[in-house]
Structure 1
Amino acid sequence: MDDAEIAIVGAGAAGLSLAYRLCAHPPAGTGHPTNTTPSARATALARDRPSIVLIDAPRGPLRPPERTWCFWEGSEGEFDASLSGVWDTLRVRAPDGTSVIGSPAPLRYKMLRSSSFEELVAARLDHDSRVRRVEAEVKEVRDLPQGAEVRATTPQGESLALRARWVFDSRPLTTLPPARTTLLQHFRGWFIRTDRPVFEAGLADLMDFRTPQPAHGLSFAYVLPMTPYDALVEYTEFSGAVLDEQAYDEALRLHVKKQLGLERYEVRSVEQGVIPMTDARFPRRSGRSVFRIGTAGGATRPSTGYTFAAVQRQTSAIAAAYHLGRTPEPPPVHARRSLAMDSVMLRALDTGRVDGAAFFAGLFDKVPMRRLLRFLDGRTRWDEDFRIGLRTPVLPMLRTVAELPWLPRHHQTHPLPQRRTS
C-alpha cells in the first residue's frame, strides 16, 4: 500500500509551490456532478484531497541557504503579504551612464525571500492533515509497477522507503543535459544598511552596466531598495566560469563606492548563487510515475535566469491536471519560439558577436518597458517578438541563427542554482 498519493522531493520554491497548490481548493470547473455514483464521487473527493509527503533535505550542505526570488506580475498577487519589496519604477543604466527609467504598469517588480515564502506555505500545510513533512536525504527515486518509490536516509542514519502513486522531484541535476551553449549566471549580493537615507524606495536599478565587462558575456549590478536606508546590492555575471568570493566582493565594493557614492555602510547579510543559462533540453518526465519540476524540469528561462514565476505556472498546471483526473505531467512553461530566441542570444553572447551590455541596454532603450518584461517572461505574441528582434544587432543575430542547426550538443557539468528563480 502506498504511503501517500503524491511524494514531493525537495522543499524549495518548486516543491513548496506544488504542495501549496495541491492543498488549495480545486480550481473552478473541477467540481463533481451530483448524478455520479457514490463510488465515483468518493474517488473524485480523494483526488481533490490527496495525501502528500513533502521530503526536505536535512539541515547542512544539501539544504540551500536563504534565497531571494524576484519576478514581475500584476499589481495584486497571492504572495503580496510576504514580499520584502515592490517597485513600480525601474531603471537600466548603460555602460556610459545614460539611463532609461520607466514604469511597466500594470506590472510590478517584486522580491520574495525564501524564508517568508516558507512561512506562508507552512501556514497552509501545517494545518492540513493530508500533508506529512519528512526530513531525509533522498538517495534514489525509482518506478514501480504501480507508482514509484523514494529511498532516503534520515538525519539519524536510518533507511527510509516511501511509496507514492506520483513522485515530483525538484532536486538539482548533477549534470546538465547536452547543450550547444551554456553560460552561467553567477552572482553575489550584499544586504546593506546605511546611516543616512540614500535610496529611493520605489525605484529599483534593474540592470546597471557600469561594471567591468568580461570578454564573453556581460556583467551588471542591481540595487533593490527596501527602505531609504536598506537595499540589496548585487553583482552578476553571465559568463563561462564563476569567480571567487574575493572577486565578487571587490566588484561590489567598487560599485557601492563609485556608483552609489557610499563610504559608510553595514553589510548585514550576504547571498550567492549560480544559475545555468543553457539551451539544453530538460526532460520533465524521468519515469512512468516520476516527474521533474523547477529548474530540473526546465522552468528557468535561459536568457534571464528567472524561475519563480514560471514555477508558479508549472505547479498550477500540475495541480489542475491532477484534480481533473489527468496524468499530472509538468507542461512546458516556455514556448518553443521563446527558447529558440534564447538559443540565439546565448550563442551570440558566448561568441562575442554582440556586446552583452550594449545589447540589453539597447533593448530597454528601444522597446517599451512593459512589452520587454512581457517578452522576457515569454508572454508576447509572435509579431511583438519580431518587432523586438529588429531592435537587436540584426546581422550578428542572423549569422547565429544560420549556424545553430549545425552545432552539436555537448555534455557539460556546471553547478546548478542556489536561489532565484526567478
Structure 2
Amino acid sequence: MSSKAFDYIIIGSGASGLQLALAMLRDTHFDDKMIGIIEKRTKFTNDKTWCYWETGQGLYDNIIHKSWNKGVFKANGETIPLNLAEYRYKMIKSIDFYTYAKSKIKTASNIQWIEDEITKSEENQDTVQLRGKHKTYSAKHIFDSRLPENYKPKDSINILQHFKGWFIKTEENVFNPDTFCMMDYDISDHEKTCFIYVLPFTKNKALVEFTYFSPEQVNEETYEHYIKSYLKEKLNLAQYQIYEEEKGVIPMSSHPFYKHHRPKITKIGTSGGWVKASTGYSFKNAERNSIKIINNIKEGKSPHHHLYDKRFKHYDKMFLDVLYNHNEYGQTLFYKMYKYNDISQIFKFLDEQTKPLGEVKMMLTMTSFYFIKALLKHIAQGFKIK
C-alpha cells in the first residue's frame, strides 16, 4: 500500500473542511505547503442549506441564494419586527458552496483531493500516520472533522435541532420576499420547543420549515402536519407545488469537544464544537475558526489555540439545561430574548462578540426560575463544561 506525505491533511469536506482549505488558499503563507483533502464521498448533492448573519461584504456573497435585512419573530399573538440594520441574514445552498469550493481547490497546485476513507490514525513524534481503505498518508498536522471515537454525549446535556422543510411554489403571491421569519410559534406543539421557519425567495416561492429544539426526534408525518397547518391556516393555501425538500438533525451539546484535540490533530466542525450549542448555527463559526487556525499557525502557536471562549460555553450549558429539563419553556425563553433585546445585540451575543456587562443585561431579560435553577446546578457542579 503506497503512502503520500503532506504538510497538512483535512479529513472531510463539509463546510468546516472546505472553509479551512479555502482560508489556506487565500493566504500566501501556505503557497509552498502541500495540503491533502481526504473525503469518502464520491458524489455531492444539495443536501442542506446554510444560513448565517454578517455585516458588510462577505466571503461568499457571490454564491448566496438570497439575503434579507428584515425579519419577524412571532409568539404569544405578537409579531416582533427584526430590523437587522447593518446586518444581513444570508442563505447558501450546499451544492453551490461545494461547487464553488471544489472549483477553487481544483486550480490550486498545492492541494490534492483524495477519495478515500480513513480507518486508522497514529500520532508519532513528527507526523501523524493515516491508514485509508486505499492508501496510507502522513502529515505534520491533521484537521479531522470526524466525531471522536470516545465521544460520549450521554455525559453531557444534549438537545437536537431536527427539522423538515418544503421548498414550495404557489400560484398566488403570498410571501414577502424582503422579510424572513426567524420563528413562528403560532402553529406548534406547545408542549415542546418547536416553530415554523420561513425563508421567502420571491412572492410565490419560499422554504417553509418546521423545527424542533428537543431531546428526541419525531416522525416525518409530524413535521409535515405542522407545515400543512401553517400553509392552510396562516396563508390560506390549498394548492402549492413542493419542488424540493430538506431535512436534518443538528446536535446542540454541552460536550467539551475541545478536549479531543491532540498536539498534531485538531478537531474541526461538529467534532470540534464549532456548532453553536444554543442555536445550532455553524457556517459562520467555521469561517471564523478557520481564520483563527491560519493565524495560529503563522504565529507559531498550536492550530487549535484559543478556538473557543469558556464564558460562552457556560451560557450555552445553562441554556441547554433549561431546554432539556423544561422543553415547553423554549417559546417563552426565545420570546423574551427577541422582545426585550435589539436584534443586532442578539447577533453579537450569539457570535460571542459581546462584553460581560452586556451579556448580564441580556441574560436578565430572559431570567426565570428555570434559569436560576440551571445556574445553581452549574455552580454546584463546579462550573464544569460537559
TM interval, short-chain normalised: over 0.9
Tell me which residue corresponds to 2:210. 235
Q: Is the 8 A contact 1:177 1:282 kept in 2?
A: no
Determine whether 1:6 maps to 2:5.
no
Tell me which residue corresponds to 2:349. 375
For residues 325 and 7 of structure 2, what CA distance do their matches in structure 1 show?
48
Q: Is the 8 A contact 1:91 1:204 kept in 2?
A: yes
Instruction: Quote the offset at 1:319 in angstroms.
Output: 1.6
Give CA-to-partner distance per residue, 1:256-279, whole Å, 9 cap, x none.
222232221111111111111121
Q: Is the 8 A contact 2:8 2:35 kept in 1?
A: yes
Partner amino acid, structure 1, of 2:68? W
Determine whether 1:198 maps to 2:179.
no
Instruction: Quote the offset at 1:2 in angstroms.
Output: 5.5
**SS of corresponding position for 2:311:** helix
Partner amino acid, structure 2, of 1:321? N
TM-score, length-normalised on structure 1? 0.85
Q: Is the 8 A contact 1:50 1:130 kept in 2?
A: yes
| Identical aligned residues as a percent | 27
Q: Is the 8 A contact 1:149 1:164 kept in 2?
A: yes
How many residues get paired? 382
Give the unaligned 5+ runs of structure 2. Answer: none
Q: Is the 8 A contact 2:36 2:114 kept in 1?
A: yes
Tell me which residue corresponds to 1:149. 129
Q: Is the 8 A contact 2:123 2:129 kept in 1?
A: yes
Tell me which residue corresponds to 1:56. 39
More off after superposition, 178-187 vs 100-109 = 178-187
**Which residue, 314, 319, 323 being the options, matches 2:298?**
323
Tell me which residue corresponds to 1:72. 53
Structure with the larger RCO, 1 or 2 (CA within 8 Å, 6+ apart)? 1
1:270 to 1:408, Cα distance in 2 relative to 1, 3 A: farther
More off after superposition, 381-390 vs 393-402 = 393-402
Determine whether 1:356 maps to 2:339.
no
Q: Is the 8 A contact 2:214 2:327 kept in 1?
A: no
More off after superposition, 181-190 vs 275-284 = 275-284
Determine whether 1:344 maps to 2:327.
no
Determine whether 1:187 maps to 2:146.
no
1:80 to 1:258, Cα distance in 2 relative to 1, 3 A: same
**Which residue, 275, 283, 286 being the options, matches 2:258?**
283
Q: Is the 8 A contact 2:193 2:328 kept in 1?
A: no
Give CA-to-partner distance per residue, 1:93-126, whole Å, 9 cap, x none.
00x3311012121011011111111122123211
Give the unaligned 5+ runs of structure 1. Answer: 27-44, 154-158, 413-422
Tell me which residue corresponds to 1:399. 373
Q: Is the 8 A contact 1:285 1:329 kept in 2?
A: no
Q: Is the 8 A contact 1:198 1:229 kept in 2?
A: yes
Q: Is the 8 A contact 1:347 1:400 kept in 2?
A: yes
More helix by percentage: 2
For residues 192 and 355 of structure 1, what CA distance do their matches in structure 2 show?
31
Determine whether 1:111 maps to 2:91.
yes
1:354 to 1:255, Cα distance in 2 relative to 1, 3 A: closer
Give CA-to-partner distance per residue, 1:357-412, whole Å, 9 cap, x none.
01101211111111112112222111111111111133332222112244599xx9
**SS of corresponding position for 2:295:** helix
Instruction: Quote the offset at 1:141 in angstroms.
Output: 2.3
TM-score, length-normalised on structure 2? 0.92
Determine whether 1:208 maps to 2:184.
yes
Partner amino acid, structure 2, of 1:256? L
